Amino acid sequence: MKTLSEMSIRRFFRISLVFKGAFSVLEFVGGLLAYFISQQFLLNFVTAVTQEELTEDPRDFIAHYLVESAGQLPVSSQHFAALYLISHGIIKSC
């Protein structure tokens, strides 16, 4: 007969497996998106996200850093990050 704590541990384990699977799918999809989005789209997205902060504080270091980084991101770095996420998502799902 299983004790209550053993049943709780099994339930927690199953829930953690579902979360692990969901995160691996998100990593895989994120890697695909990172591989196929253009640098211009990324720059427009970062600019839109940081626009309000830069309006409030034009000298905001983090917002400026994000915009500059998005504008200067090499394609090779983008592809490396994409392939890393895709491979990590696949390996985690196994």
pLDDT (tens digit, 9 = 90+) per residue, 6-33?
889 999 999 999 999 999 999 999 999 9
d(CA 65, CA 28): 27
pLDDT band at 3 (very low <50, low <70, confident <90, very high): confident
CA distance 38 to 40: 5
pLDDT at residue number 11: 93
Q: Which residue has the tokens 């995160």?
A: 23
**pTM (2 d.p.):** 0.74
CA–CA gap between residue 69 and residue 40 (Å, rounded): 12
Q: How far apart are CA 22 and CA 41, in angstroms?
A: 26
Sign of CA dihedral 33, 37, 39, 43: negative
Asked whether the predicted pLDDT for residue 1 surpasses 70, the reply is no
